[in-house]
Amino acid sequence: MKRRVVITGLGCVTPVGVGWKSYWDALLSGKNGIGFISQFDASEFPVRIAGEVDNSTFVDLIEKKDSRRMSRFTQFAIISSKMAINDSKLDLEKIDAEKFGVIVGSGVGGMDTLEEQHRILLERGPKRVSPNFIPMMISNIAAGQISMMLNAKGPNFTTVTACASSTNALGEAFRTVVRGDADIVVTGGCEAAITPLSIAGFASMKALSTRNDDPEHASRPFDKDRDGFVMGEGGAMLIFEELEHALARGANIYAEMVGFGAASDAYHITAPHPEGKGARKAMELAIKDAGITPEDVNYINAHGTSTYYNDMLETLAINDLFQDHAKKLSVSSTKSMTGHLLGAAGAAEAIASILAVRDNKVPPTMNCFQPDEKCNLDYVPLKYKEVTVNYALSNSLGFGGHNATIAFGKYKN
């Protein structure tokens, strides 16, 4: 029989809350985390808004001497991991370190460190570039730092698939436990790309909302007046554990991960496939892997970026796969509140999906005042709803044509 994988710990740092309880309460209440950029002077930029994590909410959660040698994205990863481990009540002295893995996703890694050290190079010369520059910047260092902190000696790697990075990480963590390569995996994502170069680059692509005069309503997935996504930042980590291992220690089980699917558009460097084929295939594969039918799915946490093509084509993919059942689904985008956490988005949204399964509550899509006529599903506009959620999917679609879907179900003995 296939080894079963359950979720026994959660931790997160997001623009709407730090810690899963704060985060979940914020989502259900429709709290908005979008505001004016404070990390640099954006007054001359075409985009001046983002979903920032308030420094005061996490600065005391990491040692100062450690934070000085970590990029912001790694700090988010470390804090989220500590929270998830504490939440899981794992006794690290009693587990097999060689069956304890760390798999993390990040789209761009230490962008803040890269920009800072490049400035130092230009202004002060090559000898003043920090010897910590490379190990602070590289995307895999978050997973490495977590493994050293926890003495996790099992599989340890990083997935980099743009906005699908942490969903791919969770998928690979799931498979790692199913295969028996690990009994426990700390998995999730982290990102901190609210920097001058990053904002300028995404703005140049016309990918970001320019609703600078109304930050609270800038991220509006599926709404007819959407004009681009809003950059966010943060980290989210989960503890994946083999079922018998979790039961043996009396662990609290939030839900079960039951399936993973991944597919490529093989179409365009940024645009989704015009028929949503990659997104459809990823969902189809996750459902097949879970051993369920499309009719068993009750909720989809959509990628839902608030960009014209993503929202329209993700809707098309859902309609094409689910057919008549599509109208019975609850579909929402929590990016309407957090902004788009890029490589960390999938992990944060996985936590929302897991808690939807646990609590039978679906978070809303805020700012969806009037859906686009091509967006014809139940997007749970403006207010959460209570509905039985036996199975939930979480979608992530990344630049480069990367599509990933994960499936969660209620834990049943």
Q: Which of 193, 218, 248 is the last residue of a domain?
A: 248
Distances (CA, A) of 11 to 17, 256, 352: 11, 17, 11
Domain assignment of residue 27, yes or no: yes
- Which 3 state secondary structure label does DSSP give 373? coil
Instruction: Classify residue 254: in a domain, yes or no.
Output: no
Mean residue pLDDT across the chain: 97
pLDDT in tens, 170-204: 999 999 999 999 999 999 999 999 999 999 999 99
What CATH code is carried by the domain that includes residue 126?
3.40.47.10
Residues 158 and 276 both lie in one domain: no
Of 245, 273, 340, 402, the active-site residue reads: 340
Residue among 381, 279, 371, 386 nearest 337 (CA): 381
On whether both 66 and 183 belong to a single domain, the answer is yes
By percentage, how much of the chain surpasses pLDDT 90? 96
The number of CA neighbours under 13 Å toward the Cβ of 371 is: 19
Residue given tokens 């001058």 in the structure block? 196
49 and 161 both lie in a single domain: yes
> Residue 288's pLDDT is what?
98
Q: Are residues 55 and 180 in the same domain?
A: yes
Query: E-assigned strands of 274-326?
Result: 299-301
For 154, list phi and psi in degrees, rounded to 5: -85, -160
- Does residue 253 fall inside a structural domain? no
Find the radius of gyration of the CA atoms of the chain: 20
User: Are 171 and 304 in the same domain?
Assistant: no
12 is catalytic: no
Helix (H, G, I), strand (E, B) or coil at 188: strand
402 is known as an active-site residue: no
In a shared domain, residues 276 and 380: yes
The C-alpha atoms of residue 400 and residue 356 are separated, in whole angstroms, by: 30
Write out the residue range of the structural domain in which residue 206 sits: 5-248
Q: Is the pLDDT of residue 301 over 80?
A: yes
Total domains in the chain come to: 2
Per-residue pLDDT of 197-247, as tens digits, reads: 999 999 999 999 999 999 999 999 999 999 999 999 999 999 999 999 999
pTM to 2 decimals?
0.97
Q: Examine the residue annotation and report whether 118 is marked as an active-site residue of this protein.
A: no
Q: pLDDT tens, 287-299?
A: 999 999 999 999 9
Q: Are residues 227 and 279 in the same domain?
A: no
